[in-house]
Amino acid sequence: MGRKRRKRNVQAGGSEGFEPVDEMMALEIDKSKRYDAKTRSKMKKLRKKSRKDHKSHHNREPGQKSEETKYKGWHQVRVMNAETLSKTFLLETIGNYMETSFQVLGFHKIGNSSSFYLEDNHEAADAIQQLNNRLPGPDSQMLKIVVKKCGTPDILLNLEQLQVLKNVMAQRYDVVKNLLDLTSFHHDNTLVNNDIFAPLCSAPIMKQVLRIIREIPVLKALSLSRNRLRNGDLKVLNSLQTASKQLTALNLEHNEISDISVLKYIKTFPLEELSLQHNKVVNNFKEPLKYIEIVRKDLPLLKILDEVNIVQYLAENGEQVVKNMPGPSNHLPSTSVEGKDHPNQNLSESLLRTFLDQYYGVIDTENRGALIAAYTPEAVLSLQSKIDQVSSQVFHTQSNIAKLLQTFPATKHIHETFSLNVISLNKEEAKVQVKGKCMLAGHEKCVAFSRTMFIVTYGAGLCCREEILEIQPQS
């Protein structure tokens, strides 16, 4: 629009399309007043943006949310020139100007500003941003507030904070179940009240937490649910694998795990129970049997997956999957039962075969130590050897059997030579014997073995309470 035409419009009281009341700027526009070119340009841009937003709002499908509303993640809030204001006063002042509730995480002061984080609360973040230059601060100056989206905050805790963290973890440890429950850890009331921000999805925090976990004498179960964990965040878990920390149960529910490759970070543990519910990775599988098959390739001792007893499930629904899994299932040809008849489903020949398939699917791998979960805590293993490289010994309790599994020479069993004999079987216990041949590291020729196992129902699955292992040169 040319200067002359603009001049005629102003003289005639025209407003170039603006209404007398500009809701966007919340001010009265005096039509008789002549605004400079810069002000008019700014007002025109604001009006254009307002119309665009209004159109976008009405064009959305019912129930559809805007991208801003859909945002899930972290916001950092910084309040400038607030060094003399206490946390309580500052947060109460902000809260008095808002209707949206919010939880403050990791409140701290840096220089002359105060800072804290919001989680999954875009509405509160937007409301706080609207308070910029509207709250009175020191010397009656308005406080400048900056709110921005941010990635996972990477924070290191000092010694004093680590001591509080250690006390909280001690309270969350069940000495009876050897369970450490770190569910929704950064929302723990003690941590929040002490302004300690400890999100486990932060690599530095996770490493500090793992150092404390390594001080726990015995750890059998660990819950890491509701901690925003992604696949890569679990890489460091393998540092927990020690003789006293043989994790048999791991809860990873309600996280951000998107791919089944996460199993490579936890397959070193002899897991019997795993939960991945409410993660994107579970939605990648439409067939339950395929899901179970893939998980058990890395976790052959697994008995409970997402709260489902998969040993029983496969026995009832997945016989085809069982036969296709690694192990000697197709090489245990003859089965004779002496004594009691076949029992009910509590302990059946099918479950025994599944147990042995798992056992021999692991015994020749680098993950042989995971077999410790196949024995009861008070199990006894009698080793009777006629091989020079191996001494005859009796191993009492699970911990001593674990030492044998770690020190016994590497093996390669020849599954085609296997034979299975179910000597006795009832609903709670079975006695089975597997005979065959295997290669033994340090021995040039095959050796013959006979493994007699007393298998019992234990927890949600089966375990061996007594074993007699005989090895001798092949005749």
158-211 pLDDT per residue, tens: 999 999 999 999 999 998 889 999 999 999 999 999 999 999 999 999 999 999
140-151 pLDDT per residue, tens: 788 899 999 998
Residue 454 CA, chain-centre distance (Å), reads 36
Region 253-258: mean pLDDT is: 95
Residue 298 lies in a domain: no
User: In the chain, how many domains are there?
Assistant: 4
Same domain, 113 and 182: no
Same domain, 249 and 362: no
The answer to whether residues 192 and 215 touch, using CB atoms and an 8 Å cutoff, is: no
What mean pLDDT value characterizes the chain?
80
Residue that has been written with the tokens 């129970």 in this structure: 273
Nearest to 234 by CA among 203, 272, 277, 190: 203
For residue 251, give every residue at least 6 positions away whose Cβ sits within 8 Å of its Cβ, in sequence order, or none: 183, 221, 222, 223, 224, 225, 275
Same domain, 89 and 226: no
Residue 204 lies in a domain: yes
**Is residue 325 within a helix (H) or strand (E), and if so which, with residue range?**
none
Residue 462 lies in a domain: yes
Give 3 or 276, the one with higher predicted confidence.
276
Same domain, 138 and 167: no
pLDDT given for residue 349 in this prediction? 83
Same domain, 374 and 456: yes
Same domain, 375 and 418: yes
Q: What is the pTM of this model?
A: 0.62
Give 330 or 435, the one with higher predicted confidence.
435
Residue 29 in this model has a pLDDT that exceeds 70: no
Residue 183 lies in a domain: yes
Which of 284, 312, 346 is the C-terminal boundary of a domain? 284
Domain containing 119: what range? 70-150
Same domain, 392 and 410: yes
Same domain, 144 and 177: no
Least-confidence region, from 125-134, 333-342, 347-356: 333-342
Confidence of residue 55 (pLDDT cuts 50, 70, 90): low
Confidence of residue 321 (pLDDT cuts 50, 70, 90): very low
Residue 317 lies in a domain: no
Give 314 or 452, the one with higher predicted confidence.
452
Confidence of residue 244 (pLDDT cuts 50, 70, 90): low
Same domain, 15 and 92: no
With a pLDDT cut of 90, the percent of the chain lying above it is 40
CATH of the domain at 357: 3.10.450.50
With a pLDDT cut of 70, the percent of the chain lying above it is 78
Q: What are phi and psi of 53, to 5 degrees?
A: -65, -40
Residue that has been written with the tokens 């996280």 in this structure: 255
CATH of the domain at 98: 3.30.70.330
CATH of the domain at 169: 3.80.10.10
The answer to whether residues 376 and 463 touch, using CB atoms and an 8 Å cutoff, is: yes
Beta bridge partners, 115, equal 78, 108
Same domain, 351 and 447: yes
Same domain, 461 and 366: yes
Residue 13 in this model has a pLDDT that exceeds 60: no
